[in-house]
């Protein structure tokens, strides 16, 4: 009878706690359950690029923004554009413990030096560089 009681306690309490601990630990470490793997650095850079490339408010109030056709085009022109956790104080909020264990906020800060191409008021192509700091959810959704 004693063995059955111990087995029942393990099955109803110990096993669920073990499974939840593994799940939360993987989330905390940045694991993407939708893809069942960790995202590569290049994938994360591409996701931040896509997010920033679709924006229309990239630092100038009146200009005609020229989007990049793809991340590959951008990388060819700017090979040293991106880094992960390069150090220094960041202007973004720090993630909470609960956000980390539920996968809503990964630990890394993606820093991108983004060259914005636009047409000025005379129709002349111009470029200015700006700096973005982004965090991603574990599966790559920008914050």
Q: 91 with 32: CB under 8 angstroms?
A: no
Of the pLDDT bands very low, low, confident and very high (cuts 50, 70, 90), residue 61 is low
d(CA 18, CA 15): 5
Of the pLDDT bands very low, low, confident and very high (cuts 50, 70, 90), residue 59 is low
Q: What is the pTM of this model?
A: 0.80
pLDDT over 80 at 26, yes or no: yes
pLDDT over 60 at 60, yes or no: no
Asked if residue 83 belongs to a domain, the reply is yes
d(CA 103, CA 135): 12
Of the pLDDT bands very low, low, confident and very high (cuts 50, 70, 90), residue 12 is confident
Total count of domains within the chain:
1
Name the residue range of residue 67's domain: 2-134
Asked if residue 140 belongs to a domain, the reply is no
Asked if residue 44 belongs to a domain, the reply is yes
Of the pLDDT bands very low, low, confident and very high (cuts 50, 70, 90), residue 62 is low
Average pLDDT, the chain: 85
Asked if residue 139 belongs to a domain, the reply is no
- Residue 100's pLDDT is 86
Asked if residue 31 belongs to a domain, the reply is yes
Asked if residue 141 belongs to a domain, the reply is no
CB atoms under 10 Å from CB of 142, counted, come to 16
Asked if residue 143 belongs to a domain, the reply is no
Q: Where are the beta strands (DSSP E) in the chain?
A: 64-66, 82-84, 110-119, 125-134
Rounded mean pLDDT of 51-76? 81
Rounded mean pLDDT of 2-19? 82
Q: 52 with 112: CB under 8 angstroms?
A: yes
pLDDT one-digit tens code per residue, 73-91: 999 988 889 998 866 667 7
Asked if residue 115 belongs to a domain, the reply is yes
Top mean-pLDDT range of 47-51, 100-104, 130-134? 47-51
């Amino acid at each position: 009878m004693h063995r059955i009681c111990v087995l029942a306690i393990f099955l109803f309490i110990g096993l669920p706690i073990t499974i939840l601990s593994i799940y939360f630990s993987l989330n905390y470490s940045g694991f993407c359950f939708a893809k069942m793997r960790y995202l590569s650095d290049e994938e994360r850079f591409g996701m931040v690029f896509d997010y920033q490339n679709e924006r229309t408010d990239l630092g100038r109030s009146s200009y005609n923004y020229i989007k990049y056709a793809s991340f590959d085009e951008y990388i060819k022109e700017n090979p040293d554009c991106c880094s992960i956790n390069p150090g220094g104080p960041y202007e973004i909020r720090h993630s909470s413990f609960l956000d980390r264990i539920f996968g809503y906020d990964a630990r890394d800060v993606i820093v991108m030096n983004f060259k914005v191409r636009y047409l000025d008021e005379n129709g002349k192509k111009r470029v200015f560089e700006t700096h973005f700091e982004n965090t991603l959810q574990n599966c790559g959704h920008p914050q």
